[in-house]
Structure 1
Amino acid sequence: MMTLHCIDEKFLDAGRCQPCKTKYAIRAGFEFNKNCGWSNNQLTQSPYRPCRQGTFNDGSSDKCQTCRPCITQFIACSTTSDTICCKQGEQVFKGTCIPQPLPTTVKTTVSWTSINSSFGSSTTSLTPTPTPTPFQNPHHAINVTAIYICLGILSALTLVCLFLVIKRRRINHLNKEFQKRNGTIRESLSKKGINRYEQSISYNMIKESDNNDHSTGSAYLLAPKIQSAPLKTVLNNLDVLEELMQVLDPDISGAKNTRHLAAQCSFSFAWINYAYSMKDHKSPLVAVLEGVVTKNPEWTVGHLAELLTTISRNDAVEILAKLPAGVEE
C-alpha cells in the first residue's frame, strides 16, 4: 500500500490532504509546522512554530512573511507586524514616525546706533550692524564636526562590545548544553540493561493479561459473509484498514493495541519491537496482518474479530462491520 504524503501546510485526514487551517486557527506570530505536526495519523508535535527573525505573521496568513526593507528611517518589524517605513522627512520617535523638526535658525539682530550730534544743525546716523550667527563662525563648525566624529566612534565601540558580550554568552550556553547532553547519554547507556529487563517483563505482562481477558465470541455480530471472508479482505479495503490503523497502532495508556494483537498471533517480542521501530515507514498493524495471512492463509475476518474481542477492542470490531457484506473470496 502506498503512503500518501502531503505538503507542509497540509495534513492527512481520512486519506486526504487537508489544509491546516481547516483544523487549527491561524495564530499571529506563528506559522503552521510541517504537516500541522501530524505524522502517520498521529499528532507528534505542536501544530505551530514561531516566526523566525526577520519574518512576521499578523494573523492573516498560513506562513510567516519576510519583513520588507526600508530606504528611510523605519520601525523594526516584530513577529506579529511588518516593518513600518517612515516617509521622506520623518524620523522615529517613541515607536512612531513624526515629522523632522525644521533646522534651528538664529535670528539676526540688528543694533541700531544713532548718535545725534548737534554741531549746528547736522545729525550723524550709523548703519545697522548684523549679529553673526554661530554657523558663520568657522571655529564653531569645526567643533560640531569633531562632536559628530566622536559620537560615531563611541557608537561603533558600543556595538563591538555588545557583539562580543552576546557571542561570549552564546558560547557559554552551548558549552552547558554540550555537558548536559553528555551526561544524559551516559545515564542512558547505564540504564540500557535495565530497560531491556523491563521490556521483557512488559511483554510477559501482555501475554498474561491476554490470557486472563480471553473470552470467546465477537462482541458485535458480523454478517455471515463478512465473518467467512478471507483475512486479506481487510488489507484490500483501504478505508477500513486506515480506520483500524488509527485506533490500534498508537500506544495509549490503558488501551490494548497492535502489540497485544501481535502477541495473540504468537509473534515474538523482538518482532513486535522491530515492527514498531519501522512505524514511520510501515504500519505495525499492516505488518501483523500480512504476517498472519502468510502463515495462516485460511484465516478469515471472523478470526480477527475473535482476537479483537479477546483484547477488549470491540471498537475495532465495529470497524470490521463496515466491510461490504457481498465480498467474495
Structure 2
Amino acid sequence: MTSARCIYRDFWNRPQHKCQPCESKYEIQAGREFTENCGWSDEQQQIQSPYKPCKNGTYNNGFHVKCQKCSSCITPFIACNTTSDTICCKQGEQVFGGKCIPQPMETTVITTVSRTTTTTTSLLLLLLLPPLAAQAQALLQLKSLNLNPPPHVINVTGIYACLGILSALTLVCLFLVIKRRRTKHLNEEFHKCNGAVRESLSKKAIKGYDQSVSYNIINESDNNDHLTGSAYLLAPEIQGAPLKTVLNNLDVLEELVLVLDPDISGAKNTRHLAAQCSFSFAWINYAYSMKDHKSPLVAVLEGVVTKNPEWTVGHLAELLTAIGRNDAVEILAKLPAGVEE
C-alpha cells in the first residue's frame, strides 16, 4: 500500500489530517479506475499514476469509482468493452454489424415443393433407365463374342430406346407443368396474405396516428404544459404541492432513497437526477462519498429546494420521467393529496 492510514480508495490529506476519497480530488474517467490511494503516500508524494485501465471482462462507463464486472447473457450479445457493459439481444434477435437485429424468416414451403418435384422426377428416370441399360449390356456381350445380333433385335432395341426417351421427356414436361401451377398458386396465396398483412398494418398505423393526434390535443389543452409522460399519473393536488412536501413525508422519501440511491448497472439513479438539476460532477461525487452519513437523494432535494423554492412535486416527476424512472413517479403518487407542507 502507498498509505498506511487510509483504505484503498482514499488518500491521506496531510494539511487537513484526514482521509479523503480519490473522487474528491480526481474526476472519474470512463474505462479506468483509481489506483491504490490514488498513487499518493502519507507524506503527500505522488508515487504512481492516480488511474489504471480496466481489466478484461470489466468496464467503467464514467459513473463508477471501480471497474464493474461485465454482465453475462443467455441470448446473442454484443461484447462489452472497457467503457460499456455487455448488450444482451432480445429473444429472436441476432448480432449483425454491431447491432441486435431480428432473425430473417425462412421460406420452407417453396423449397419443399421444389425438392419434392425434383426427387419425383429423378425416381421416374431411375425406373425407366434400367431396362435400357440391360439391353445395351446384352448387345455389348454379343459383340464381345464376335456375334452379330439379329437385325430385328437391333430394331426393337432402338424402338424401345426411343420410346423410353420420349416417355421420360413427357413425364419431365408433365411435372414441370405441375410444378409451375403449384408455384403460381403459392405465389397467389402469398400475395393475398401479403396484401392482408399490409392492410392490417395500414389500419394499425391509422389507428396509432389517431391516438397520437388525440394525445397531442389533450396535452395542448392541459393547463400544466411543463408536465409530460408519467407526471400525469399524479393527482393535480400532488403535482402542485411544493417540492419540500417530499422531504417532509418520511415514508415516501425512504422509498425514493431505496430505489434511486444505489448504483445498479443499466438503471439511472440519483447521479443522473442531480445532473438534470445542474449539479456539478464534483458535487455529485462528494455527495456519494458521504453516503454513509447522508443520502445523496436527500442532499439533492435539499439543494433544489434552496436554489428553486418555487419548484413543485410535478417538476420532480418530470425529471424522473426524463431519466426513465417511472417507478419513482409511482412512489410520488403515494403522497397525500390536498396537504401542503
Give the TM interval when normalised to the shorter protein: 0.3 to 0.5
Report which of the two has the higher share of strand: 1
What TM-score do the two structures reach when normalised by structure 2?
A: 0.37
Report which of the two has the higher share of helix: 2
What TM-score do the two structures reach when normalised by structure 1?
A: 0.38
